Amino acid sequence: MTKYREILRLSGMGLSQRSIASSCQCSRNTVSEVLKRAKEKDLSWPLPEDVADADLQYLLFPEKAQVSSRKIPDCEYIHRELAKSGVTLSLLWSEYCEMCRLSQEIPLKYTQFCNYYRKYAATTKATMHIQRKPGEQMEVDWAGQTASLVDAETGELVPVYIFVAALSCSQYAYVEGFLSQNQESWIAAHNNAFTHFGGVPKFSYPTTSRPVLNNPHGIPLSSTKPIMKWPSTMARQ
**Residue 182, Cβ neighbours under 10 Å: how many?**
13
- Res 91: pLDDT: 87
Burial of residue 100 (CB within 10 Å: 0-12, 13-18, 19+) is middle
φ and ψ of 88, to 5 deg: -125, 165
Tens of pLDDT, residues 6-43: 999 999 989 999 999 888 888 989 999 999 988 888 88
pLDDT for 108 equals: 84
- DSSP for 109-161 reads PHHHHHHHHHHHHHHTT--------TTTEEEEEE-SS-EEEE-TTT--EEEEE
For residue 208, the 8-state DSSP code is S
**Chain centroid, CA 232 distance in Å:** 30
Contacts of 22 by beta carbon, 8 Å cutoff, 6+ apart: none
User: Residue 96: its pLDDT value, please?
Assistant: 92
**Per-residue confidence at 229, pLDDT binned at 50, 70, 90?**
low
The HSE-up count of residue 140 (CA atoms within 13 Å, CB side) is 28
Measured CA distances, 163 to 58, 102, 190 (Å): 35, 37, 9
The rounded percent of the chain whose pLDDT value lies above 70 is: 78
Averaged confidence pLDDT in the chain: 79
Among 1-5, 62-66, 230-234, the range scoring the smallest mean pLDDT is 230-234
Closest CA to 10 of 219, 179, 21, 29: 21
Q: For 141-194, how does the pLDDT look when each residue is reduced to its tens digit (9 = 90+)?
A: 888 788 999 988 898 999 999 999 988 778 789 999 999 988 889 999 999 999
99 half-sphere exposure, CB direction, 13 A CA radius = 13
Q: Write down the pLDDT at residue 161.
A: 94
pLDDT value of position 213 = 44
pLDDT greater at residue 80 or residue 31: 31
Indicate the pLDDT class of residue 216, thresholds 50, 70 and 90: very low
Query: Is the previous residue joined to 211 through a cis bond, with omega within 30 degrees of 0?
Result: no
Largest CA distance in the chain: 73
User: CB of 200 within 8 A of CB of 193?
Assistant: no
* Crossing angle (nearest 10°) for helices 28-40 and 53-60: 80
Nearest CA among 183, 146, 184, 187 for reference residue 165: 187
